[in-house]
Structure 1
């Protein structure tokens, strides 16, 4: 699977030729696919940034020993919903 020098030179000349002609994509489908790809990458980076920000905020807020954690009270009682259609 080695790539020869001639193939690399041909690929480089093709890319440089497209850059000079200001026509990077061959069709509108190529442009649309590139926009979708950039949107996907941007969304992934945004979500990664939000995760990092959330982790940093949680570490800073939970790190102080004086703040107690909130514990939700457990509800005791029947679980689920009564099915009144089964009643005689």
Structure 2
């Protein structure tokens, strides 16, 4: 899961307890008033130094016939694609 450096390094500890902090779906504290917390520029730089990027995107394309047929409601159309 990718969590952006800004979010990973944010520091909520010095902000008001009145910010209604909640734990979100990925386990991070978040507030409607303060977002993820104070930005930590030094923390972002430290994290960026060891950041691993993903490999270049690869594309795989396969030409397939494109029949011009309407698909009636509650039915399906099967298209068989064969590669050489």
Choose between structure 1 and 2: higher strand proportion.
2
Choose between structure 1 and 2: higher helix proportion.
1
Shorter-chain TM-score: what band?
under 0.3
Using the size of structure 2 for normalisation, the TM-score is 0.24
**Structure of higher RCO (CA pairs closer than 8 Å, 6+ residues apart):** 2
Using the size of structure 1 for normalisation, the TM-score is 0.24
Which of the pair has more CA radius of gyration? 1
